[in-house]
Chain A
Amino acid sequence: MPVISYREALRAAMREELQRDENVVIMGEEVAQFNGAYKVTEGLLAEFGPKRVVDTPISEAGFIGLGIGASMLGIRPVMELMFWSFSYVAFDQVINNAANIRYMSGGQINVPIVIRGPANGGTNVGATHSHTPENIIANHPGIKVVCPATPYDAKGLMKAAIRDNDPVYVMENTILYNDRGEVPEEDYIVPIGLAEVKRAGTDLTIVAHGRATITALKAAERLASEQNIQAEVVDLRSIRPLDEETILESVRKTNRVLLVEENKPFCGVDAQIAYLIQSKAFDYLDAPIGRVSSIDAPQIYCKKLEDVQIPNPDRVIAAALEVLR
Chain B
Amino acid sequence: MPAPKNTKAVTHPESLKEELPANAPEKHPVNQGLGAEEKVRLYRQMVRIRHFEQRSIRVYQQGKIGGFLHLYVGQEAVAAGTISVLGPDDHVITGYRDHGHALMVGMGMNECMAELTGKLTGCSKGKGGSMHYFAPDKNFWGGHGIVGGQAPLGSGIAYALKYAGKKGCCLCYMGDGAVNQGAVHEAFNLASLWDLPVIFIIENNGYSMGTSQARSSALAGSLAQRAEGYGMAWELVNGHDLYAVRAATADAVRRAHEENKPTVMEIFTYRYFGHSMADPDKTYRQKDEIKEYREKRDPIILWEKQLLQEGVLTKEVAEQINAEAQAEADAAAKFADDSPFPGVETITQDIYWEEDNRGAETSGRGTIVFG
Contacts and interface: CB of A to CB of B under 8 A. Distances in A.
Interface string B358-371: 00011111111110
9 contacts: A63-B190, A65-B149, A74-B164, A96-B149, A106-B350, A192-B365, A193-B364, A193-B365, A243-B367
B364 A164 contact: yes
Interface in A33-63: 51, 56-57, 59, 61-63
A73 B161 contact: yes
A165 interface: yes
A101 B127 CA distance: 10
Q: How large is the interface on A (under 10, 10 to 19, 20 to 34, 35 or more residues)?
A: 35 or more
Contacts of B193: 57
Given A65-B187, A92-B146, A242-B369, A102 B353 contact: yes
A108 B134 contact: yes
A291 interface: no
A68 B152 contact: yes
A105 B363 contact: no
A66 B152 contact: yes
A2 interface: no
Contacts of B350: 102-103, 105-107
Given A105-B128, A241-B369, A69 B364 contact: no
Question: Which interface residue of B127, B136, B366, B370 has the most chain A CB atoms within 10 A?
Answer: B366
Interface string B182-216: 11001101100100000000000000000000000
A189 B143 CA distance: 36
A289 B29 CA distance: 75
Interface string B141-182: 111111001011111110111011000000000000000001
A92 B125 contact: no
A106 B156 contact: no
- 8 closest A-B pairs by beta carbon, nearest first, are A193-B366, A69-B156, A65-B152, A62-B186, A241-B366, A69-B153, A107-B350, A105-B134
A142 interface: yes
Contact of B182 (A61, A70, A109): A61
A85 B350 CA distance: 29
A75 interface: yes
A244 B369 contact: yes
A67 interface: yes
B55 interface: no
Contacts of A93: 149, 152, 183
B123 interface: yes
A197 to B, nearest CB: 15
A112 B161 CA distance: 16
Contacts of B9: none
Given A69-B160, A191-B365, A238-B366, 5 more contacts: A69-B153, A97-B149, A97-B153, A105-B132, A106-B128
* Chief secondary structure at chain A's binding surface: mixed
A72 B152 contact: no
B152 A192 contact: no
Nearest to A242: B369
Given A70-B156, A92-B149, A105-B132, A62 B190 contact: yes
Contact of B189 (A57, A71, A108): A57
B279 interface: no
Contacts of B368: 193, 240-241
Contact of A103 (B127, B143, B156): B127
B56 interface: no
Given A62-B186, A97-B149, A193 B367 contact: yes
B94 interface: no
A75 B160 contact: yes
Interface residues of B, number: 58
A62 B187 contact: yes
A194 interface: yes
A296 interface: no
Interface in A175-209: 189, 191-194
A194 B157 contact: no
B135 interface: yes
Contacts of B145: 96
A71 to B, nearest CB: 7
Contacts of A192: 363-366
Given A57-B189, A165-B354, A109 B143 contact: no
A262 B153 CA distance: 33
A66 B365 contact: no
Contact of B155 (A65, A72, A238, A243): A65
A238 B314 CA distance: 66
B187 A66 contact: yes
Contacts of A309: none
A104 interface: yes
Contacts of B369: 240-242, 244, 276
B357 interface: yes
A163 interface: yes
B349 A70 contact: no
B205 to A, nearest CB: 23
Question: Which interface residue of A72, A142, A194 has the most chain B CB atoms within 10 A?
Answer: A72
A103 B124 CA distance: 8
Contacts of B136: 72, 105, 108-109
A65 B153 contact: yes
A160 B190 contact: no
B364 A144 contact: yes
Question: Which interface residue of A92, A107, A194 has the most chain B CB atoms within 10 A?
Answer: A107
A72 B153 contact: yes
A109 B366 contact: no
B127 A104 contact: yes
B189 A142 contact: no
A170 to B, nearest CB: 13
B152 A242 contact: no
Given A70-B156, A104-B128, A105-B142, A62 B183 contact: yes
A120 interface: no
Contacts of A257: none
B356 interface: yes
B157 A69 contact: yes
